[in-house]
Structure 1
Amino acid sequence: MNRRHFFRQAATAGAGAVAATALAAPAIAQESPKITWRMTSSFTKNTDILWAASTDIAASVKEASDGNFTINTFAAGEIVPGLQAADAVSSGTVEMAHTCSYYYIGKDPTFALGTAVPFGLNARQTNSWFSIGGGNELLNEFLAGYGLYALPAGNTGAQMGGWYRKEINTVADLNGLKMRIAGLAGQVMSKLGVTPQQIAGGDVYAALEKGTIDATEFVGPYDDQKLGFVKVAKYYYYPAWWEGGPAVHAFFNLEKFNALPKSYQRILKDACANANQNMLARYDAHNAKALRQLVAEGAVLKPFTQEILEASYKAAQEVYADLNAKNAAFKKIYDSQQAFKKDGYLWNQIAEYSYDAFMMTQQRKGTL
């Protein structure tokens, strides 16, 4: 081959390679654009396990995107009050929020089913229903009407039944009680004579201390111990039949989520799944120690009586019958959860419950 012809060909090929690189670079850049979002939380920083989910999500997203996708996190009250987080996302004030769906039942009671309802799913059933049982699709079908898209991003596990200034032994003892309680549980409690109050987490202690309320539920021992409820109400009841496995969600502005590159959508989904697992693990790791501390500080542990549980269950069924009759969106999701729960407890009682019940007897005998 003529040397001059060879080098001319090589130069041409090289120019083509440079041109190809020049064309490819913008395409690659478009796949990983520099984006900065804001996430507002419904939780304060001193409820650190709940708050940590926000920072977990932000850290995962930043690392997985090589720093190209950044999420700045804001605690309740720093941008909007905690109970206005979803509104801030819908309006585009922020791109996303970490919150509980049931805070927004004033818009539609169907929002409650995104978190927990009385005598609903336990934590494992909740996670399974969302990921495998079609729950995520059903919830987002409903949320689209509010310009929202949601992903599970936390679960506390079964919660405690709350703090009371006086003993609650009968249904009659509930009559006239002013209680901070969220979601549909307030409607159920009102059938038993309770006056429900919805108060943001950061304001609960002051309300209980001043006597504005007579009782409060929050989460469980770890958070309750940090918030100091034992100092103003010593009777600590269990379980929270209204929150057997409540989900916490990341809410996204639907339009902005859909506009993200698919790779960033996947990063967000993986980050939320990681936060979801971490929250339950953290509560499982810390609640036992906190419960011991609360008892040492004077908490009197008491189970709800069978009378109260049965009356509450009956009242819950009445609430659901009414909602199902007049709210098609609620009924669609509720029916799905009910069918999933029936199968879930069919399985749970065979292996899970039998194993746990035996191990609990060993723990009580001191043989663990």
Structure 2
Amino acid sequence: MAGAREEQPLLQVRKPLSACLEMKFMGEKIVSSLKKAFIAAAICLLPISGQAAEVTWRVPTSVPEGSPFYVNFLQRFAKNVDVMTEGRVAIEPYGAGVIVPALQVYDAVVDGTVEAGHSSPTYLLNKDPINGIFAGFPGGMGPEAFISWIYEGGGEKRLKELREGEGFHSMIVGIGSTEILAHSNVPIRSKDDLKGLKYRTSGPWAEVMRDYFEAVPTVVPAGETYTLLQRKGVDAVEWAPPSANLSEGFHQVAKYIVVPGVHQPSFLWEVVTTKETWDKLPDDLKAKLEAAAKLTTYEGLTNFYAADIKAMAEYRSGANEIITLSPEFVTELADAGRKWAQKKADEQKASGKPTMSEILADYLAFRDAWNKERSYLITE
């Protein structure tokens, strides 16, 4: 199974076999007893980390096996966990549909079908719009600001508190770079081009497209997106950063590539398990799992950055027309996204649920402070 902990080779030894057979007994002559020689050889042939895992978690994700989110986030997490726990915890990744459908990962954890699940808060938006803050929304923070808010500005703590209220323990396992706004069969350059546009999307952007720009959003799992675009079941699709989209082949079936990805400046994926499952772990393993998750998040983001540069270069050298939206249109789209988020927060507060309003205020305050002082940064 891809991503599962690899077994140590049988013949991985602590010292050469010949050296082991030269062991001395009580400082006297070399042991010649056949029985003792075989015992010494057996001890030396034991693998360094031959102990079976103390904990094994089956972890389905919301994307197909082999996709960039599967490899860059979940499979990377499995490897980091194996290293940090020295094989005591085994994470077994499963692609969408192998154990549970793509959009039912959180439910499968609640039901006890699996020990943990890997997915994005964007797929919980229909249950609670508060998830849009963590999923990433139009007009929100880009990757550098977002990851700083998550780990240094209280974002991670907020997400953990939210999930605890739902009976989960959450570990952030993946923050992504900016996405491509659309691979499209029709050009998109202005607000007028969005009206009536059949657009495969999800999360906050789907609601912004519908409510503010009269587009027609369609939500389908990742594995169905290519076929939908190829058969012109939609006019345009958005899915992921440039490098992830490249492997999906969207550029091969749609002429236009539209940037920048104002709809999804960054995004977050998490591994969730039930509070009960988490509480059963020894404290030392909890700390190592959290560390593996954080390491995975940083490694995954820099991996996307490097791969995206290569992907964009390949797009530009190909047959596609790359459309870069005007700064004015980008601002219009971003403003609509922030209006959506504020409207949802206000509605929740009016109904007696102030949490989204509080988290959004923290998020926007960090964003404003970042933008106010970012002039010192060199981003070339």
Give the TM-score normalised by the residue count of structure 2. Answer: 0.80
Trace 1:194-343 onto structure 2 (pairs within 5 A). 194-327=215-348, 328-343=354-369
The residue type equivalent to 2:362 in the other structure is S
The equivalent position to 1:97 in structure 2, one of 111, 117, 130, is 117
CA offsets 1:153-183 (integer angstroms, 9 cap, x no match):
1122122212111111221111110111121
Relative distance call for 1:269 and 1:301 in structure 2 (3 A) is same
Residue pair 1:102, 1:113 contacting (<8 A) in 2 also: no
Q: Take 2:205 and 2:88, find their aligned partners in 1: how far apart are those partners?
A: 42
Q: Is the contact made by 2:138 and 2:338 (CA closer than 8 Å) also made in structure 1?
A: no
Cα 1:317–1:35 change in 2 (3 A) is closer
Higher helix share: 1
Q: Classify 1:255/1:164 alpha carbon distance in 2 versus 1 (closer, same or farther; 3 Å).
A: same
Deviation at 1:113, TM superposition (A): 1.4
Does the Cα contact within 8 Å between 2:186 and 2:256 map onto a contact in 1? yes
For residue 186 of structure 1, give the secondary structure of its aligned residue in structure 2.
helix
- SS of the residue 1:163 aligns to: strand
Contact 1:41 1:51 in 2 (8 A): no
Report % sequence identity: 24
Select the residue among 175, 195, 201 that pairs with 1:155.
175
Tell me which stretches of 4 or more aligned residues in structure 1 moved more than 4 Å.
none
Give, in whole Å, the separation in 2 of the partners of 1:274 and 1:321.
32
User: Taking structure 1 as the reference length, what is the TM-score of the superposition?
Assistant: 0.83
Aligned residue in 2 for 1:113? 133
Does structure 2 retain, via aligned residues, the 8 Å contact 1:43–1:51?
no
Q: How big is each residue's C-alpha offset from its partner over 1:121-163, in whole Å with a ceiling of 9 and x where there is no partner?
A: 1112221212121111211222223222222211221222121
Structure 1: which amino acid aligns with 2:357?
K
Change (3 A) 1:52 1:318: closer
User: Do residues 124 (structure 1) and 150 (structure 2) align?
Assistant: no
TM superposition shift of 1:33: 8.0
Q: CA 1:75 to 1:33, structure 2 compared with 1: closer, same or farther past 3 Å?
A: closer
Q: Secondary structure at the match of 1:77?
A: coil
RMSD across aligned positions (CA): 1.8
- Residues 48 and 157 from structure 1, CA distance in 2 versus in 1: closer, same or farther, beyond 3 angstroms? closer
Per-residue deviation, 1:49:
5.0
Matched, 1:81 2:101: yes
Is 1:176 the equivalent of 2:196? yes
Residue 71 (structure 2) aligns with: 51
CA distances 1:223-262 after superposition (whole Å, capped 9, x unpaired): 2111111122111111111211212222222221122111
Change (3 A) 1:62 1:347: same
Q: Look up the match of 1:18.
A: none
Alpha carbons of structure 1 residues 300 and 33: separation in structure 2 relative to 1, 3 Å? closer
Instruction: Name structure 1 gaps, 5 residues minimum.
Output: 1-31, 360-368
Q: For residue 131 of structure 2, what is the amino acid of its counterpart?
A: F
Amino acid at match of 1:234: K
Match of 1:76, SS state, is coil
1 CA distance for matches of 2:306 and 2:339? 37
* Amino acid across the alignment from 2:165: G
Q: What 5-or-longer segments of structure 2 have no aligned partner? A: 1-51, 349-353
Q: Which residue does the alignment assign to 1:145?
A: 165
Residues 141 and 367 in structure 2, CA contact (< 8 A), matched pair in contact too: yes
